[in-house]
Chain A
Amino acid sequence: MFLEQLLNGLTLGSTYALIALGYTMVYGIIQLINFAHGEIYMIGAFVGLFMVSVLGTNIIVAMAGAMVFCMLVGMMIERVAYRPLRGKSSRLSALISAIGVSIFLQTLLALIAGINTRSYPNVINNRTFDLGFAEVSLLQILILGLSALLMIGLQIMIHKTRIGKAMRASSQDLDASYLMGINVNRVISFTFAIGSALAAAGGIMVGIYYNAVWPYMGMMAGLKAFAAAVLGGIGSIPGAMIGGLTLGVLEIMGVAYLTSSYKDAIAFGILILVLLIRPQGLLGQKVAKKV
C-alpha cells in the first residue's frame, strides 16, 4: 500500500517537476515568474488531444507535435509580452504582463474548446503489473520513464552543448554574458522553448493519466509547479526536479493517510514550512548580501 502510494506520488511529482523546470530555467535567466507557464502546459494537453482525436495520429506523434507547437507558443509569448519590457521596467510589470498572457490564453482556449472537461481516447492499452510488493500500471511506468528521459536529456543539453553553456553563463550574469558575445535574446528564446516543450509533455501525460483536459487546468498545476520550483530553490534545475518529486509524494501521502479535503493546501503548507527553515529552498544557494 505504502509503496503504491509512493509510486503514485512519484508519478504526480514527475509531472510537477516537468512544469517546474520551465519556471526555474526562465527565472534563473531573467528573474521572471512566468505565470503563463501553466497555460503552456494546458495548451500542450489540448494540442495532444486534438492530434490524437481529430487528426488520428498516434500518441508519440501527438506528443512530439504538442512539444513543438508549445515551443513556438512559448517563444512567441516571450517575444510579444516580455521582451518589450526587458530592461526598461521593474520585474513587477513583467509579472503583470505574464498574468495578462495567462488570462488571455485561458480565455482563448475556453472560447475555442469550450469549458467542459474533455478526455483522451484510449491511447495506451493500460495494464497493471503485480510486482509482489506493489501494483504498478503501464501508464505510470511510461510517465516515470519518459519524465526521467526528458530530465536526463535536459541535463545533457545544459552541460554538454554550446547553447547549454550559454544558458548557464546567462543565468550567472546576463550582462556579462552579453558582453562576452553571447546572443542573450537567443538564449532567452531558447530557454522559453525548452521549458515550454517540457511543460507540453507534462500536460499530455497528466491529461492521459487523470483523463481530464480543460482550459483552467493550468492554474493550479502552474501554482503547484511554481511552489515545487521554489521548494527546490528557484533557479536550480536539480532543485526543480527534487522539489517536484517531493511535493508530489507528500501530496499523495497526505491525501492517503491524513485528509483528502485539504489536498490543495498540503503542497503550500509544506512549502511554507520548508521556507521558514531554509529560506533559499532545498538546493538554492544563499546569495551573500553585497554592499
Chain B
Amino acid sequence: MPILTLKGISQEFGGLRALDGVDLEVEEQQIYGIIGPNGAGKTTLFNLITGIYEPTEGRIFFRGHDISNARAYQVASMGIARTFQNIRLFQKLSVLDNVRMGSYGVTRSGFWECMLRLPRCRREEKQVTQEAEELLDKVGLLEKKMEYAVNLAYGEQRRLEIARALALKPTLLLLDEPAAGMNAGEKAELMELIYHLQEQMKLTILLVEHDMNLVMNICERIAVLDYGRKIADGRPEEVKQDERVIQSYLGVEA
C-alpha cells in the first residue's frame, strides 16, 4: 500500500488555480522527486499535504487515513515532517533547542509536568536532548549546538532544518528545495547526506527541486508539474524521455 496518496487535488487562490487535479502515489521508503519550473505548484502541494492549506478539491491519504482537512500540527504529529523553501528556523533559539523543538510532536509532557519537572518530563527531556545531539552529529552541527540558529551559515541552516524535521521521527519527510542557493559541491554533499539518512532511518522522502539533474541521481520516481498539472510521472529515465516534459521543462536547454 502506498504511504501517501493524493487523489485529484486542486487548489485555488482567489480564482487562480495553483494546482489542477493532481494524483500522486508515494510508496514506502521511496525517494520521490517532484520537479517543475518556478510557479508549477510544487510548494503549494507541500503546503496541502502538511495541512497549511485545505485542498479546494480532492483528498489526501496518509497510511490510509484521510488527512485532507487535518491541521498542520496534527499532520506533524502523525509523522510527516518537512523543511521549508525559505528556511524557517527558530532564529533566536540555540541550534540544540531548534532540534529539541522538532520532537514536540512525539513527546507528551504537559504544563504541570514541565513546571514541576515530574518524572515523565524529566525522562523526555533527557531522551530528547540525547536524540537531538545524535541528529546534530549526523548533520555535522554538534559543535555549534549552543549557537543561535540565526548565526549559522546558510548551508548549515539548511542542514539544521533537516535535523529538526528528523527529530519528529517522521515516516514521511518532505524536503522543499533543500539545495536551493548552494554551489555544486555543497549540493552533491547534501544529496549524499539525504541518501544516507534515508537508508539509515528507513524514511520515505518527498523531494521538491527544480534542478532536474540533481533529482535524477537519487530519486527512484519522479513527478513533473507544470502550471499546476502533473504532466508526467515515472522512473527518472522514463521521465527524461517524455515528450511533454522535454517540451515544457527541458525545452529551453534541449
Contact = CB atoms under 8 A, between A and B. Distances in A.
Interface residues of A, number: 3
B13 A291 contact: no
Nearest to A290: B86
A112 interface: no
A288 interface: yes
B13 A288 contact: yes
Contact of B84 (A288, A289, A291): A291
Interface string A275-291: 00000000000001101
Contacts of A288: 13
6 contacts: A288-B13, A289-B52, A291-B43, A291-B47, A291-B52, A291-B84
Contacts of B13: 288
A289 B44 CA distance: 12
Contacts of A291: 43, 47, 52, 84
Interface string B29-64: 000000000000001000100001000000000000
Nearest to A289: B52
Contacts of B84: 291
Interface string B74-85: 000000000010
A182 B52 CA distance: 36
A149 to B, nearest CB: 36
Nearest to B43: A291
Interface of B: 13, 43, 47, 52, 84
Grouping DSSP codes into helix (H, G, I), strand (E, B) and loop, the B interface class, with mixed when no group exceeds half, is mixed
A288 B18 CA distance: 14
A288 B52 CA distance: 11
Contacts of B47: 291
A288 B47 CA distance: 13
A289 B84 CA distance: 14
B92 to A, nearest CB: 10
Nearest to B46: A291
Interface string A163-204: 000000000000000000000000000000000000000000
B209 to A, nearest CB: 17
Nearest to B47: A291
A288 B13 CA distance: 9
Nearest to B14: A288
B82 to A, nearest CB: 10
B144 to A, nearest CB: 25
Contacts of A289: 52
A289 B43 CA distance: 13
A127 to B, nearest CB: 53
A260 B147 CA distance: 57
A93 to B, nearest CB: 14
B107 to A, nearest CB: 25
B160 to A, nearest CB: 19
A90 B52 CA distance: 26
Nearest to A288: B13
Contacts of B43: 291
Interface string A258-275: 000000000000000000
A92 to B, nearest CB: 13
A171 to B, nearest CB: 20
A291 B176 CA distance: 11
What 6 A-B pairs have minimum CB-CB distances, sorted nearest first?
A: A291-B47, A291-B52, A288-B13, A291-B84, A289-B52, A291-B43
A284 to B, nearest CB: 16
B89 to A, nearest CB: 14
A177 to B, nearest CB: 21
Interface string A41-77: 0000000000000000000000000000000000000
A289 B52 CA distance: 9
A187 to B, nearest CB: 27
A291 B174 CA distance: 14
A289 B47 CA distance: 11
A77 to B, nearest CB: 29
B44 to A, nearest CB: 9
A291 B88 CA distance: 9
B84 to A, nearest CB: 7
B126 to A, nearest CB: 33
B43 to A, nearest CB: 7
A291 B43 CA distance: 8
